[in-house]
Amino acid sequence: MALASYSIDPAHSSVGFAVRHLVIAKVRGVFTRFTGTFAFDAEDLSRSHVAVTLDASSIDTREAQRDGHLKSADFFDVEKFRELTFKSTRVEGTGTELKVTGDLTMHGVTKEVTLDVEHEGSGKDAWGNDRLGFSAKGTVNRKDFGLVWNQTLDAGGVALGDKVELSIDVEGIKDKAAA
């Protein structure tokens, strides 16, 4: 397979996260609006790359009041920092197991992040489009990106954990010009 370019299909993709809440459980959420592209070359992974932009105001944890707080200056401050971006700097691995390292920019701060990525498969859809799928997992420390709000609990501990688990599923449609 030679290098081919793909556009991420948001209708068949998801960008999710989980963070510890009250030291007893995890709260999960997603970003509902995002765009991105990637190029993939199974024979020479060093040529592969990805770029994704998330709309921070599209955060959805299924609780409107919490979503409003996450959009506020206590967290994402969407009035100032509307987008989160990830741009890969290298892709490594063998077979279906990949490591994708890149620059994640969130809340105006850029840090290097490595994601564990699995190539899920490829095929044609009902309209003859070539599709390629990947899933990715990783963790970031929210405080590294300036998301430091927390609340001490009366019983001890804090309201929110620092570690944020990322869970991403992407289905890409091969660009027609590249087909």
Encode pLDDT of 90-132 as tens digits: 999 987 899 999 999 999 999 999 999 999 999 998 999 999 9
Residue 38 has pLDDT above 80, yes or no: yes
Report the pLDDT value the prediction gives residue 138, as an integer from 0 to 100.
96
Q: How far apart are CA 96 and CA 48, in angstroms?
A: 14
Domain 4-178 annotated CATH 3.40.640.10? no
Q: How far apart are CA 50 and CA 48, in angstroms?
A: 7
Question: Which sequence spans correspond to the domains of the chain?
Answer: 4-178
Pick from 10, 41, 38: which is nearest to 115 by CA?
38
pLDDT band at 178 (very low <50, low <70, confident <90, very high): very low
Percent of the chain with pLDDT over 90: 68
Decide if 119 contacts 136 (C-beta within 8 A).
no
Residue showing tokens 């995002």: 34
Q: How far apart are CA 14 and CA 32, in angstroms?
A: 8
Lowest-pLDDT range, 24-33, 42-51, 147-156? Answer: 147-156
Q: Please name every residue paired with 78 in a beta bridge, in sequence order, or none if there are none.
A: none
74 is written with which tokens?
Answer: 């206590």
Please tell me the pTM assigned to this model. Answer: 0.90
* CB count in 10 Å sphere of residue 75: 21
Q: How far apart are CA 95 and CA 137, in angstroms?
A: 17
Residue 72 has pLDDT above 80, yes or no: yes
Report the pLDDT value the prediction gives residue 179, as an integer from 0 to 100.
46
Question: Which amino acid, one-letter code, is at 69?
Answer: H
